[in-house]
Amino acid sequence: MRILKYLMDRLFAGLTWFALALLVAMTVIIFCNVFCRYVLNFSLAWADEISLILLIWFVFIALAVGVRMKYMVAIDMITVLFPNAKRVDRVVTLVVHFLTFAFGLMLIYFGWELIKIGSYSTLASIEVATYWEYVFIPVSGVLVMYSALIHLFHSASALPEVDYLDKIFLNKAETHV
């Protein structure tokens, strides 16, 4: 189990750096296209499609990392109604993790369907199969499901959780091994 945690921690860290690189590359491409269009009076034909692919990849990688680090929008109406009920809080937490897991399953299924549909066409300016736009959707689904399971099991234990990504990006110390 420690080997899987070690590998997944490194995978999520690598994906976080990759997402940052995608964001920088997308910004540079869009800036160059705007500069060429308004200053040099020509447009880069491939810039829109490449920046769209980078945006889609960034969004789904960021989704998986966000679920891993629990950066999700929370509506705490139910827990506010019952402020001292630990059992209600526990049930709500379990339901959230289950729904997150189900969302990951949906990402895998519908992402795979988009990949199958995209295999029949190509992007016009870069002549690459359209499915490359959607590659990270099912990958993100697998990572969301993994994170939901990890959060489910950690919520069942009494150990505080400090993630590897927290140590790298937020400089937090590890509380348990």
Reply yes or no on whether the pLDDT at 164 is more than 60: yes
Reply yes or no on whether the pLDDT at 3 is more than 70: yes
Packing angle between helix 2-38 and helix 47-68, nearest 10 degrees?
150
Q: Which residues contact 37 (CB under 8 A, 6 or more apart)?
A: 43
Polymer length in residues for the chain:
177
For residue 129, which phi and psi values (nearest 5 degrees)?
-60, 140
Over residues 19-41, the mean pLDDT reads 95
Q: Is the pTM of this model over 0.95?
A: no
Tens of pLDDT, residues 130-143: 999 999 999 999 99
Q: What pLDDT score does 158 carry?
A: 46
Q: What pLDDT score does 161 carry?
A: 55
Tens of pLDDT, residues 72-125: 777 667 777 777 777 877 888 888 899 999 999 999 999 999 999 998 999 888
Over residues 59-76, the mean pLDDT reads 85
Q: What pLDDT score does 55 carry?
A: 96
- Token pair for residue 113? 């369907």
Greatest Cα pair distance in the chain? 65
What ranges do the domains of the chain cover? 2-169
Tens of pLDDT, residues 145-154: 999 999 888 7
Give the C-alpha distances (Å, rounded to integers) separating 123 from 34, 64, 113: 21, 26, 18
- Token pair for residue 5? 């945690």
CA dist., res. 69 & res. 31, Å (int):
31
Write the burial class of residue 18 (CB in 10 Å: 0-12 exposed, 13-18 middle, 19+ buried): middle
Buried b (16+ CB within 10 A) or exposed e, 146-173: bbbebbbeeeeeeeeeebbbeeeeeeee
